[in-house]
Amino acid sequence: MARITIEDSLRVAKTRFGLVSLASKRAHQLLKGSQPLVVSKNREIVQALREIAAGKVVYANPEYLNGTKEDFKPIPDSTEFIGDEEYIE
């Protein structure tokens, strides 16, 4: 049996973040009872990666992955985060 690799799945997902997002969503679908698209006796997350690598699972909106840094707003310096007090010297 061939082992699934991240590189196989990255050919479809293009980015590691996209792969994690896609695999997570598909694994949740499989856990909720969705029918597998590729024959395999693996756990849901590996099944999801196999389906992605086979090209059976893709993004419904691939333009979502084409974001740039300009699309994101910076966090203001005045923002306080919960739990920061233990790291402030």
Dist CA 51 CA 77 (whole Å): 42
Strands (E) across the chain are located at none
Q: What pTM was estimated for this model as a whole?
A: 0.64
Tokens of 81: 């985060």
Residue 32 has pLDDT above 90, yes or no: yes
> If you average pLDDT over every residue of the chain, what do you get?
75
**Among candidates 9, 11, 38, 39, which has minimal Cα distance to 24?**
9
Helix 6-13 vs helix 44-53: crossing angle, to nearest 10: 60
Domain architecture of the chain: domains with CATH: 6-86 (3.90.940.10)
Output 79 or 21, whichever has higher pLDDT: 21
